[in-house]
Amino acid sequence: MTGKRKSIWVFGDYRNYYQNRVTLQLLSKAVDLSRLLDAEVCAVVVGHDLEEWIMEYTAHGADRILAVDHPSLTSYSTEHYLILMEKLVRERDPDILLIGATDFGREFAPRLAKRLHTGLSADCVGLDLTPDGLLVQIAPSFGGNMLAEIVTEKHRPQMATVRPGTFREIPHNNERTAVVERLPLPAQLPPARVRQIQYERAVQREHTIENANVIVCGGRGLGNKNNFRKLDDLAKLLGGDVGATRPVVYAGWAGHDVLIGQAGKHIKPKILFSFGISGAIQHTAGLGEADFIVAVNKNPQATMMRMADVAVVADAADWLNHLVKELRRRIRE
């Protein structure tokens, strides 16, 4: 007797470049997991005029695409997307369902998990497998002070939302092919209770932290939020951007949008100032292309100090204050 082949689903969140990147990152991880589980990677894409995404997800690792394409799905509706996904999951019974931890994913995934009576690990920063093939969902807990490894033993699918930047997408490969199933809209779709009146795309900022030439980045060694906020002054003086490490983001000194590293942004500044940062691999993974690094740390042995072109052994907050004062003085002169 041959059992059903396992499948790993990735929900296609394609509505802007950033969200689409997360989907591609999840496809890449799904491909890794599929090799270990002998599973199929399936991308599910819902909306209208989906050809571009069907080709994109094929080129980035999907073996199968489930596409529900209809003009009535042009604009996102939580209600309709949930009905469609619940139906598809119930019919096809995937083992794993991955969704990007974008604003959309954070709204959509818990509702879907509730309908499917399964668990959901939110905001995962890693995925792995147990020796017997269960998905290990690695998620911060207790305010980010601990990482929990969660498995969903009894219910299916094993569901997780995953933070953008956790995995690297595999390069686009035009040669790849996938089975594309174009599925009809179910007849029983009720009228949506929320009606979209107008849709306006947010203006794309040309300047982003990813393409900033100067970045001043702070870590736990800055001691508190007030000290960290001093980085704003330095960034203004140097015409740069502020970045942060994960403990800083978890402590609420800075937003997730300025997190630098494996789970955040990958930067390539011409000059990087690093204040009170140890240089953990998950952080330095995002600094691969910094041209010149100035690090300030009270521990000369810190990895960040060894990576730096200029390593200053000092109290990070003191030195930051001093630098801001000195720059202001020189500007006034």
Q: Which is nearer to ligand FAD, 34 or 166 (CB)?
A: 166
Q: Is the dihedral of CA 246, 142, 110, 137 positive or negative?
A: positive
In the numeric block, which tokens belong to residue 207? Answer: 């300047």
Contacts of 32 (CB under 8 A, 6+ apart): none
Q: CB–CB of 101/18 below 8 Å?
A: no
**Rounded least distance, CB 187 to ligand FAD, Å:** 44
Q: Which is nearer to ligand FAD, 145 or 196 (CB)?
A: 145
In the numeric block, which tokens belong to residue 219? Answer: 């870590």
Q: Which is nearer to ligand FAD, 181 or 318 (CB)?
A: 318
d(CA 295, CA 103): 34
**Rounded least distance, CB 18 to ligand FAD, Å:** 16
d(CA 251, CA 249): 5
**Rounded least distance, CB 11 to ligand FAD, Å:** 21
Q: Which residues of this chain interact with ligand FAD, rule CB under 6 A?
A: 125-126, 147, 219-221, 223, 245-248, 259-264, 276-278, 280, 282-283, 297-299, 302, 315-316
Q: Which is nearer to ligand FAD, 61 or 219 (CB)?
A: 219
Helix (H) or strand (E) run with residue 204 in it:
none
Sheet holding 7-11, edge to edge: 120-124, 158-162, 96-100, 7-11, 40-47, 64-69, 179-183
Q: Which is nearer to ligand FAD, 73 or 212 (CB)?
A: 212
**Rounded least distance, CB 160 to ligand FAD, Å:** 13
**Rounded least distance, CB 122 to ligand FAD, Å:** 15
